[in-house]
Every structure is written in structure tokens, then in C-alpha cells.
Structure 1
Amino acid sequence: MNPLGVKDTVTTKYMRQNEIFADAFNYFVYGGEQVINPESLEELDTREIDVPYGGEKGAKQPVQKTRDVIKSVIAMMDKRTAYLLLAIENQSNIHYAMPVKNMVYDALQYAKQVEEAAASHKLSGDYKGVDSDEYLSGFMKADHLLPVVTLVIYFASKEWDGPLSIHEMFAGQDARVLAFVPDYKINLIAPAAIEDSEFEKFQTTLKEVLSFIKYSGNADKLQEVIGIDEKFRHLGRNEVDVLNACVNANLTMKKGEEVLDVCQAIQTIADRAAEQKRMDTLLDNVKKLMERMGWSAEQSMDVLSIPESDRNSLAQRLK
């Protein structure tokens, strides 16, 4: 599987978990308030069918488009029951046409709801007595759509510099014209844009995953963040898979191990890196003496007082 495919697989598997999925929306939509209950989520078919309009030569074949994750939810808001459709699109790279991509997905979902309403009326036969407009529409006055909220989660450390709306994708257009062009904005969680204090609004390991990603390029800050957060001592396999695939964390879990102490793993990685740097320096010094003085590897290591414990390793690398 190619690297991009691995990233898509592990991030989708991670975000499909109800607790993680709910946490993302509770953070983004409700500022951390626990409105969406993970137990109220029900996973839906991620496939959407795009049926192109026909031309003189007839319609083309329908195209299947697949979302990453979409779930239905029943949420209580202001003592009222709200029925919503929530979707997540995982991005390990910046998609510079993301507003269009999401707009198509959402439009297909609304079209699907209209078609299902029409099919339901036809099956039940309750078109009798309605006016011609309702009959021809298939969608009655009393019918309603379920809102679709799509959230993009960017699993990379750099800032998102892609457009956040359809209007941002137009260039040099007359503002009077754009006033009549509906805008479409994307909802985005990008680690680089999250303030440190905002991470506290997450209630699951999404906090640790996103904060790790944010500081993955800053070793000192990353160690500081990991040292403060106790949950980094008990990170699960799904989280580790996401970090390894998306930011090359190089975290290693033993076979059969279900949790990892990231603090210890990071220290081990740092120790290995320091040891590798030490051995590289020794090797470089030995090579310089061999080239400049014409000495053997053994003579050069004697002059540098290199201990016996390092000599075999250096000898192997000099072959």
C-alpha cells in the first residue's frame, strides 16, 4: 500500500470510533461542551452516487464518490431534539479544492434525502390529495432535510494554506456578481491553528494526537508537551498508527502490546539518535586520520582512544 493509502486507512479507522468522532464535533461545534453523545451515533453508508445530467448523447454513467466517515446523530440542544448528519474528511495533505470537494459531497447527500423522501411517498401512496406541484416535486411542503455538517481534519503539522471557501477560489471577480454566487465554507481542524489552551477542550486521545502532530517538528516543545500530559503514557495502537503514518513518529509497539508509553518511546528515540550521532562523529574522525596520515583503521582508533565496545561497529561500517 502506498504511503498516502496508509494515511487514509489509519486516520479513517481512528476517526470512525464514536468517542473520537463525537469529540471532534463537540470541540469544533460546541466549544468542548459534551452535546453529542457517542452512543447516539450511527454509522451510515459512506458511498454517494453522482448521477450526471444528460446531454444530446444521453447521460453518462453514474459516478460513485466515497466519504471517509458519515454518521447520523440525535442531539439535545436547548431542550430540543435535533437530528443531524455529521461527516468527517481526513486530510494528510492540503487539498486546494477542498471547498468544491465538500460541497459536492454535501449536495449529493441532500439530493439523496430528497430522492428517499420521494420514494417513501410513492411506496406509501400518500400523494393522493396533494397538489400538482408537490406531486411533481416528489418532496412535499411538510418534508424537511436533515442538516449535513462536514468537518475536515488535517493530520499534518504545517499550516493549512488552501482556500477555506468557494469565494476564495475565484480571482478578480466583480463583487456585485459574487454577491449572487452562494459561498460555501469548509469546517477545518488544523493542529497548527489550535492554541495550547484549546487542546483542553478535547476529551479523548484526539488531544494527544493533534498536539503531537502540531509540535512534531519541534523536539523541545514536543518533549515538554508530552511530559505534562499523563495520557501520553498510555497511548493506544490506533493513535500510534496515525502518528507513525502522518508525521513519521517512529514509535514502536511490541507485538501484542496495546498501549505505549510515548514519553519513554520518545526518550529511547532521542537516545538512539544521540548514539547514532556519536558513532557518526567517531567514524568521520577515523576516516580523516586514515586519509590524511595513511594509518590503518586500528591505528586511527588507537590514537583516538576509541573503546573496544565501539570498535567492532566502526570496523563494520569501514568495510
Structure 2
Amino acid sequence: MVFSNTKKWVMRIECMNLSKKNEIIYYAMPVRGMLYDALSYVDQVSQIKKLRRENKELEGSAEFLSGLKKTDHLYPVITIIFYYGEEKWDGKIDLHGLLGIDRKEYSLLKTYVPNYRINLIEPKRLENLKCFQTDLQIIFGMLKYRKSKTELQNYMNSNKEYFSNIDEDSYNAAKVLLGSESSLKAEKQESGGIDMCKALDDLYQDGVNEGREQGIEQGIRALMQDYLDEGYDREKILEKLQKIFSLSREKAELYYMKFHQPQE
């Protein structure tokens, strides 16, 4: 996720461990961070090149070659890595560490190899939130309780004035940091802000409904297997599913086809 503003700087947020496939530490993160930053600068250069050439503002061979004027500047890029793993981050946090340049025999290289350090934040282990501005302070506080519905709701209720009318930029950042980009629904207030308390309640309710549906499917699968083991035919099993789970004939047939595995 990338943010930019009128202060002419760009912030990129990289969220780690929001899905099970990412629940391990990425030990090459300094290289990934460098790549993200470099690509951001490449994109800026491309945009400036396009603008300068469209407006025919380039003069001299050097400017034509680079596509930039001598007076052009790029916006600084800040990449922040959010790591949500249960285990404490034990990977390298800078390029020199990854290269092993701290070893005595490589000491001379430190003078010539530029270092790159990642901005790593582990919300679970944040202690001094007061060093952040108000918005980040409250959102980071929320992230500490993201694993517990009760604790998260208690925290949001204690900051209800903020979360019931959160601005859109902060809301979008919170969605990414919570790993709920597609499922957290926005409900705008008359003031133009968003009621995140209501959005979070809706998200949890969706989770409850999804869990209930999964529970029903597990019950249907188990019941079908029992009836099949006892030698019940297809029609009898469909009748049982309709009666026990209050299913329509069509729905019962769909479940039967989904869970019935014919003997080879």
C-alpha cells in the first residue's frame, strides 16, 4: 500500500503475515525493501520523463538522454515493514547484516558497499506508542489486540470518539494493517468520516456466519458418511438431509454431490 501527500514524500507499507502462507519471517527482507524503493524511484523517473517530453522541456544532450532536467528532484520513499508473526523477528534488518560484512575479513567493504536498513515495526511488541502521531498511535494500539475480538472491541470502545468517525486515509490504512482489505465495509457518516466500530462488527458477524456455514457442512459430511456406511441409498440420504438440516431438495442434492465419493 502506498501513500503520498502534498509534503512531497511517498510512504509504502508492506504488511507481513496477514495470511497463513506468509506466517514465517522473510530473511531476504532488506533486499525486498531495496527493490521496492528502487522501483518507486524508477516509476517517478518514468513519470517525469513522460511529462518533460510531452511538454518539450528538455534541453541539451544530457537532459535528452536522462529524460530529466538538471533541476528535477524525486520524492523520498519510505518503506515500512509491518511484521505480525507470533515469533520475534530474528532476521537481518539491514543489507550489511545480510551480506555478513560485519565479519572482520570484510571490514574494508563497509566503506564501499552502501547499506540499506529496513523500517521494521512489530505491532505486537510496541510499548511506547506515544512516539507516534495521534492517528498512528491509536491504530498501532488497535493492532496489538487484533487477535482477540473482545480485547479489540474494548480498545475501540475506549477510543470510540476516534473510531466512530475515522478519516478515509486512516481507515484504508487500518484495513490493510488488519488484513481486511476486501471484507471490511465502509459506512460513511454525514461528517464524511467512517464508522469503523460498525464496520468491525459487520466483519465479525460475517465471520460468525461463515463459521456457522462451515459447521453445517461438517455435520452434513459426517452424517452422509454414517448413512453410506450403513448402506443407505441416495434417495434415503437426501430425505434425511432435507429433514435434519431443513434443506430444499436442490440444496440437499448439491451437498450429496459435493461430499459423496463413489467407490472405485
TM-score bucket (shorter structure) = 0.5 to 0.7
**Preserved contact between residue 156 and residue 213 of structure 1 (Cα < 8 Å):** no
Compute the displacement of 1:155 (Å): 3.7
2:137 paired residue among 191, 203, 207 = 207
Residues 170-203 of structure 1, C-alpha deviations (whole Å, 9 max, x = no match): 327643752783484637251436524x224433
2:185 paired residue among 239, 246, 252 = 252
Match of 1:186 in 2: 117
TM-score (norm 1): 0.46
Residues 118-148 of structure 1, C-alpha deviations (whole Å, 9 max, x = no match): xxxxxxxxxxxxxxxxxxxxxxxxxxxxxxx
Compute the displacement of 1:252 (Å): 0.8
Query: How far apart, CA to CA, are the structure 1 residues paired with 2:102 and 2:219?
Result: 63
Change (3 A) 1:279 1:222: same
Equivalent residues, number:
194
Compute the displacement of 1:274 (Å): 1.9
Change (3 A) 1:184 1:264: same
Match of 2:159 in 1: 229
Q: Aligned to 1:163, what secondary structure does the other structure show?
A: coil
Change (3 A) 1:235 1:157: farther
TM-score (norm 2): 0.53
Describe how 1:1-319 pairs up with structure 2 within 5 A. 7=1, 12-13=2-3, 16-17=4-5, 42-43=7-8, 69=10, 88-92=11-15, 95-97=29-31, 152-158=79-85, 160-171=89-100, 174-175=103-104, 178=107, 181-182=110-111, 184=115, 186=117, 188-192=119-123, 194-196=125-127, 198-230=128-160, 231-249=162-180, 250-254=183-187, 258-293=192-227, 294=232, 295-302=236-243, 304=244, 306=245, 311=247, 315=252, 318=255
Q: Whose strand proportion is higher, 1 or 2?
A: 1
Q: CA RMSD in A?
A: 4.3
Compute the displacement of 1:233 (Å): 2.1
Counterpart residue type for residue 238 of structure 1: D
Q: Aligned to 1:252, what secondary structure does the other structure show?
A: coil
**Preserved contact between residue 241 and residue 252 of structure 2 (Cα < 8 Å):** no
Unaligned 5+ segments in structure 2 are 17-25, 40-75, 257-264
**In percent, how many aligned pairs have the same letter?**
14
